[in-house]
């Protein structure tokens, strides 16, 4: 693909992202994306054949950007507790963000396709979260910071609480206090110094 | 409203329910409901002026039916542990049900309106769950069955895990084992005899 085509594709994806943030996924049509990006219908179909294809491409870029952010923010001598606190802080920020993200569109996309699709970004994100937290809890147990919990089950519990808070935050207003109280509860069950 | 009108309204709501179960909320149009219920467009508008109005009416009936089921299934000499186990059993059944319910349509409805709407069925359902569980945990603590946890925070924790499992089950396949393990984890933190 030439440089100009690459630019046009980026332009389409940028405009499409705004449409998905605004309208979710299920009710978005190719016509919406044609209008948002101010190109011709034929022009759009040169690059993408349906809204699902566009959405997956938008989501892919978003996820890559997220990974970059996470990898730079942890210093090398951080304890397991430090990292867990940082993780909760990041999650809290995302939970309390009012709008402008793809979470609702992502839910809507996987409502329709999640059970059949082989690629499932929501599932991968959750599974990766459980894996990382399990590893972190194992480290905290080894270093004597954490109680000897079942790290796999506990990691799942933390991720489910976060998923619960996330869906709550997208379907109603949630308070900062709710997030703080629940994260403090999880920390208290895990960290010895928090008792 | 006459008896015949009442019947016609019931007919529309029954057909609309099927449409919402099948297609969610956001992409459903009045035309879909006209077609599903095989009445005229003018006939439909005699009863309802938009899909949101129809959806809320369908949801209201559904919730009333649910409440009936819950109130008959608890015997009078049940302990707090019995009731909690029964609650988890009911939740598990709902989580593993493959299709045919309004959960996805309800999410989609409140994605668009949850933060503004004064009436919010999802919020009320969650808040009622927390209230009932808090009361139950207090009873269990008083009877010596449960540890002396912060019942309000713990009730929130249980509801969030359930919300997390629910959104997972609607966007991917979840295993019975995941549900069992997480509920066992919650029970173990609460019930003395489960240690």
Does the distance separating the beta carbons of A24 and B111 come in below 8 Å? Answer: yes
Structure tokens at A129: 């979260």
CATH 1.10.10.60 applies to domain A1-57: yes
Structure tokens at A123: 């599932």
How many alpha carbons lie under 13 Å from residue A170 in its C-beta half-sphere?
Answer: 26
Structure tokens at B167: 């959104």
pLDDT tens profile B112-153: 876 666 788 889 999 999 999 999 999 999 999 999 999 999
Residue B191 has what DSSP assignment?
B
Return the closest-CA partner of residue B24 out of B106, B119, B142.
Answer: B106
CA dist list (Å): A163 to A160, A166, B8, B180: 5, 5, 40, 18
3-state secondary structure of A191: strand
The topology (CATH level 3) of B1-55 is: Arc Repressor Mutant, subunit A (1.10.10)
The C-alpha atoms of residue B168 and residue B156 are separated, in whole angstroms, by 18
Which pLDDT band holds residue A71 (cuts at 50, 70, 90)?
low
Query: Chain A residue with minimal CA distance to B107?
Result: A171
What local confidence, expressed as pLDDT, does residue A2 receive?
76
User: In chain A, which residues have their Cβ closer than 8 Å to the Cβ of B165?
Assistant: 160
Q: Is B10 in CB contact (< 8 Å) with chain A?
A: no
Contact A112, A26 (CB under 8 A): yes
- With a CB-CB cutoff of 8 Å, which residues 122-141 of chain B face chain A? 122-123, 126
Would you kindly state where each structural domain of chain A is located, as residue ranges?
Answer: 1-57, 73-195
Does the distance separating the beta carbons of A168 and B163 come in below 8 Å? Answer: yes
Measured CA angle at B92 (ends B86, B95), to 5 deg = 145
Q: Is B168 in CB contact (< 8 Å) with chain A?
A: yes
Which residue of A24, A160, A174 to mutate against B (max B Cβ within 10 Å)? A160
How many of the other CB atoms lie within 10 Å of CB of A182? 21
Alpha carbon of A150: minimum distance to chain B alpha carbons (Å): 9
Which ipTM score applies to this complex?
A: 0.90
Give the pLDDT mean for A72-93: 86
The topology (CATH level 3) of B73-195 is: Tetracycline Repressor; domain 2 (1.10.357)
Identical topology for domains A1-57 and A73-195: no
Residues 6+ apart with CB under 8 A from A173: B115
Q: Is A168 in CB contact (< 8 Å) with chain B?
A: yes
The C-alpha atoms of residue B36 and residue B18 are separated, in whole angstroms, by 8
The C-alpha atoms of residue B132 and residue A71 are separated, in whole angstroms, by 42
- With a CB-CB cutoff of 8 Å, which residues 51-80 of chain A face chain B? none
What local confidence, expressed as pLDDT, does residue B38 receive?
94
User: What share of chain A has pLDDT > 70, as a percent?
Assistant: 90
The C-alpha atoms of residue B94 and residue B103 are separated, in whole angstroms, by 10
pLDDT beyond 50 at A61: yes
What local confidence, expressed as pLDDT, does residue A195 receive?
44
Alpha carbon of B7: minimum distance to chain A alpha carbons (Å): 31
> How many CB pairs below 8 Å do chains A and B form together?
112
Alpha carbon of B4: minimum distance to chain A alpha carbons (Å): 35
Residue B191's DSSP bridge partners are: B146
């Amino acid at each position: 693909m030439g440089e100009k085509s690459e630019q046009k594709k980026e332009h389409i994806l940028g405009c499409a992202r705004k449409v998905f943030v605004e309208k979710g996924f299920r009710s978005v049509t190719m016509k919406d994306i044609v209008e948002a990006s101010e190109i011709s219908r034929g022009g759009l179909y040169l690059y993408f054949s349906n809204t699902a294809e566009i959405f997956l491409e938008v989501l892919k870029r978003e996820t890559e950007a997220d990974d970059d952010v996470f990898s730079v923010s942890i210093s090398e001598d951080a304890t397991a507790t430090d990292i867990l606190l940082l993780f909760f802080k990041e999650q809290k920020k995302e939970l309390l963000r009012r709008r402008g993200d793809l979470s609702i569109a992502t839910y809507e996309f996987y409502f329709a396709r999640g059970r059949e699709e082989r690629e499932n970004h929501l599932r991968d994100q959750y599974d990766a979260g459980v894996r990382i937290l399990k590893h972190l809890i194992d480290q905290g147990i080894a270093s004597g910071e954490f109680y000897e919990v079942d790290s796999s089950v506990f990691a799942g519990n933390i991720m489910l609480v976060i998923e619960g808070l996330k869906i709550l935050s997208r379907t109603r207003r949630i308070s900062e206090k709710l997030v703080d109280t629940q994260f403090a509860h999880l920390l208290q069950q895990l960290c010895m110094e928090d008792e």
